[in-house]
Each structure stands twice: as C-alpha cells, then as structure tokens.
A and B are shown apart, each in its own frame.
Chain A
Amino acid sequence: EPEVTQTPSHQVTQMGQEVILRCVPISNHLYFYWYRQILGQKVEFLVSFYNNEISEKSEIFDDQFSVERPDGSNFTLKIRSTKLEDSAMYFCASSEALGGWEQYFGPGTRLTVT
C-alpha cells in the first residue's frame, strides 16, 4: 500500500541552525501539508501546498519557515534559524482529492533543538 515517507526520522540541531525536513508524498497525490506536534500537545497545522504554491498557512508558519517541492517527488520544510521551541514531531501529509477528505500522514521527523 502506498505511504508517505519522511527523512530523517530524528534530527538533532543546535539553536540558530537551519534544518530541512524531507517528505515523499504518495505518488498520485496533489495536495500536501505539514503539521507539527510538540510533545504532549495537540497536532497543529503549519501549511498546505498545491500546484507549487502555498494554499494556506497558520500563524505558526512565520518567516523562518518555508516549503518547497524541488522535484516531482519531494516536498520539503525548511526552518531557517531554529529555536528551542521548534522542538517537535513534524508530520508531512498528502491527499488525493481537492479538500482532502482523507489526509495520509507520514511517520514524522522528531526535531530536537539544543
């Protein structure tokens, strides 16, 4: 069964460093998302992406965040200058249908900022 994959599974970085989290959505999906989950807290939406453009972003997704689809398969989230509070599990998701009735989540990247 097709699935969303993410790399790395765990990333440790120092405060102020840049990180790039990578995702490979399901191949026939056209709509992509990033969510994050701080330990013990709820899953929070960051951004949605379609046709090489951001469709919607939350208040969390400030200027230090960016997303890109550099080729036909990868979807990346870049955090330019990490802060301690960016430590979280970052989930990529994709959906096939407009409106995304079912969003398929990847296994996540655990980001630890020290």
Chain B
Amino acid sequence: GQNIDQPTEMTATEGAIVQINCTYQTSGFNGLFWYQQHAGEAPTFLSYNVLDGLEEKGRFSSFLSRSKGYSYLLLKELQMKDSASYLCARRDRGSTLGRLYFGRGTQLTVWP
C-alpha cells in the first residue's frame, strides 16, 4: 500500500509545543520527509529521517520509527507564522531520483 495518514487539522497557541503525527505503509521505505506549505505557496523542506530516532533543527524536530511506520514533527515555541499545512512525504527504495509520496497535510492554526 501507499497510504500516508496524518490528521487533517490541529490548533495550538503561540509559545506552545505541537506534535503532528504521520503513519505510512510501504514495502520499501527509504526516507520520510516533512514539508511546510503556506496557502497558495510551494512546499518548503523542513526535515527528513532515514534512520530511526530524532532529528533536531532549531524549533523543529522530526522522529521516525521504521518498525512502526510512524513519524512525527515537533514544533516548539510556536509562532503565528507557523500557521500552515505540514506535509508528510515518503520515499521508497527503487525510485532512483526519489519520487515523493505526500500525505494530505495537516493544517495547523496557531492562535495568539
């Protein structure tokens, strides 16, 4: 299967921490990516995980468990500008140039 599941919407307040979960199914996993997409704009790369564990990049961290087919994106010290759609995307082995399979995205709204 090629399903990627993530919640449709989430809300949080400024300064808080939010965790966006993503589950996937694949027979040949080769990387899990997170992108941010503001309305009407292009996806912007945030992070990727190939091996299990946590990758930290400033206010953003991403975690992967390959055995569970599970990843999450953690956003700390939320700011209003973090209101956007967060896209989980999977890459499979056998795709030479790294075709990405995207989930539907999680629309995050940050309130003051």
Contact = CB atoms under 8 A, between A and B. Distances in A.
B97 A48 contact: yes
Given A91-B43, A101-B48, A107-B42, A42 B98 contact: no
Given A41-B104, A42-B104, A43-B87, A104 B45 contact: yes
B98 A103 contact: yes
B100 A45 contact: yes
Interface residues of B, number: 21
A102 B97 CA distance: 11
Interface of B: 31, 37, 41-45, 48, 87, 89, 95-105
Is the interface on chain A under 10, 10 to 19, 20 to 34, or 35 or more residues? 20 to 34
B106 to A, nearest CB: 12
27 contacts: A31-B98, A35-B100, A43-B43, A44-B102, A45-B99, A45-B100, A48-B96, A50-B96, A50-B97, A55-B97, A58-B99, A91-B43, A98-B96, A98-B97, A99-B97, A99-B98, A100-B97, A100-B98, A101-B48, A102-B45, A102-B48, A103-B98, A104-B45, A105-B44, A107-B41, A107-B42, A108-B42
B37 to A, nearest CB: 8
B99 A56 contact: yes
Interface in A31-53: 31, 33, 35, 41-45, 48-50
> By DSSP majority rule, is chain A's interface helix, strand, loop, or mixed?
strand
Nearest to A102: B45
Interface in A1-50: 31, 33, 35, 41-45, 48-50
Contacts of A108: 41-42
